Amino acid sequence: MKEEIDLNHPKAAYVHIPFCSQICYYCDFAKVLLEGQPVEEYLDAVIEQYRTYQIKTLKTLYIGGGTPTALSAQQMKKLLSALTASLDLSVLTEFTVEANPGDLTDEMIEVLAQSPVNRISLGVQTFNDRLLKKIGRTHTQAQVYEAIQKLRNAGFKNITIDLIYALPTQTMSMVKEDLKQLLALDLPHVALYSLILEDHTIFMNRQRKGMLKLPNEDKNADMYEYIVDTLSKKGYNHYEVSNFGKPGFESQHNLTYWDNAEYYGIGAGASGYLDGIRYKNHGPIHHYIEAKNKRVHEERLTQKEKIEEEMFLGLRKKTGVNVQRFEEKFHRNFDELYGDVVRKYIKRGLLVDDEKTIRLTNQGFELGNEVFAEFLLAEDFE
């Protein structure tokens, strides 16, 4: 397997910074505590992999983690300079950096503001200080407000935050309070996720020992419904299962994934999609640094897998799957493949067919995984 160099296609790149100043109890992303890590060597390896693709044009660039802002301001400056050195910035419409409200120093904000970065994603999770401690976060509500104010003062208008609901001991009144705080900030975008217990996390270990008190399924559904209703009434477009944006502020980078488009994946543990191949880079940092070929796993998707992914990803969007685009892309009749499934879920009130697109209803969004499973094709599909 050698690094593929494709000058034509992907218009999006994801860059992974796996370092964190603390490990959150719910997180299973590729990450390590920053202290004692070979950060400079890692950044050099990331830049080296990025350069092998000879990327000249990108529409979106996204630096995620981990916590990218766990880097020093100088390290961030080095990374941003290297990533944009050969880019045509006139076509780079969205450049996002994930940040932790607790480590956004004035120096870091200045570095970000003086670069082509134009979107900041803050990992807030909740505004409740007691809950923040319970989930292993070290920032406070006050630091969230301070970080947002400083970012705005530095000229950032496109600020999004992540919130998690159905947290341990969280009640509906706490969710309502989080929404109230969010709306008071008048941010253009928010991503809201239900807590999912993942293997190899502190929360999963506690759950197995019977030490985690979580809201039940009905309460979880009530919270989701309240969130959707409240944000929709306040002018947010619920454009994807977990994402809400004011008009013009939908995440262009994430739409790349949901449109099933190809993208570069750079950094330890990052995934990418190039030339019909889904790949994953070495996860352990030392392996990633030392490997000449940064990719450890590659899989060329079959037609069956491409079609299934098109449906799973497309149905996550409020706009759904465009039938004409589907048929042009795969040279298959949509109704022959999925007509029966679509009619079944229209009857149940979970899907809508407006002749051009197939999309989920609000109720369908709540039961998304159940619907997605029905779009798996037969094993002998050709």
Range name among 211-215, 253-257, 265-269 with the lowest pLDDT average:
211-215
Three-state DSSP class for 163? strand
What are the residue ranges of helices labelled H in 114-248? 129-134, 141-153, 172-185, 202-208, 217-233
Structure tokens, 156: 């950032």
The Cα–Cα gap between 326 and 73 comes to 45
Beta carbons of 151 and 182 less than 8 angstroms apart? no
Q: What is residue 201's predicted lDDT score, i.e. its pLDDT? A: 61
Range name among 20-34, 164-178, 243-257, 340-354 with the lowest pLDDT average:
20-34
Q: What is residue 1's predicted lDDT score, i.e. its pLDDT? A: 38
The torsion region of residue 243 among left (phi > 0), alpha (psi -120 to 50) and beta comes to beta
What pLDDT, in 10s, does the model give residues 135-151?
A: 888 889 999 999 999 99
Beta carbons of 299 and 48 less than 8 angstroms apart? no
Last residue of a domain, one of 258, 293, 313: 258
Task: Using pLDDT thresholds of 50, 70 and 90, give the confidence band for residue 194.
Answer: confident
What pLDDT, in 10s, does the model give residues 257-279?
A: 999 999 999 999 999 999 999 99
223 and 364 in a single domain? The answer is no
What is this structure's pTM?
0.91
Q: What is residue 163's predicted lDDT score, i.e. its pLDDT? A: 96
The Cα–Cα gap between 186 and 102 comes to 20
Q: What is residue 370's predicted lDDT score, i.e. its pLDDT? A: 85
355 or 178, which is more confident?
Answer: 178
28 and 99 in a single domain? The answer is yes
Count CB-CB contacts under 10 A for residue 270. Answer: 26
The Cα–Cα gap between 274 and 14 comes to 13
218 and 128 in a single domain? The answer is yes
45 and 105 in a single domain? The answer is yes
241 and 350 in a single domain? The answer is no
Q: What is the CATH number of the domain that holds 359?
A: 1.10.10.920
Q: What is the DSSP string of 164-192?
A: EES-TT--HHHHHHHHHHHHHHT-SEEEE
Beta carbons within 8 Å of 132's beta carbon, 6+ residues apart? 125, 126, 138, 139, 140, 141
pLDDT at 326 > cutoff 50: yes
254 and 318 in a single domain? The answer is no
What pLDDT, in 10s, does the model give residues 58-108?
A: 999 999 998 999 999 999 999 999 999 999 999 999 999 999 998 899 999
184 and 329 in a single domain? The answer is no
Q: What number is the average pLDDT over the span 224-245?
A: 95
How far CA 300 is from CA of 21, 278, 308, 357, in Å, comes to: 36, 6, 14, 28
Instruction: Provide the mean pLDDT of the chain.
Output: 90
Q: Is position 265 within any domain?
A: no
Q: Is position 298 within any domain?
A: no
223 and 309 in a single domain? The answer is no
Domains identified in the chain, total number: 2
Range name among 10-14, 213-217, 286-290 with the lowest pLDDT average:
213-217
The residue segments making up the domain with residue 57 are 12-258
Q: Is position 41 within any domain?
A: yes
Q: What is residue 137's predicted lDDT score, i.e. its pLDDT? A: 84
Q: Is position 278 within any domain?
A: no
Q: What is residue 216's predicted lDDT score, i.e. its pLDDT? A: 73
90 and 193 in a single domain? The answer is yes
221 or 147, which is more confident?
Answer: 147
Q: Is position 318 within any domain?
A: yes
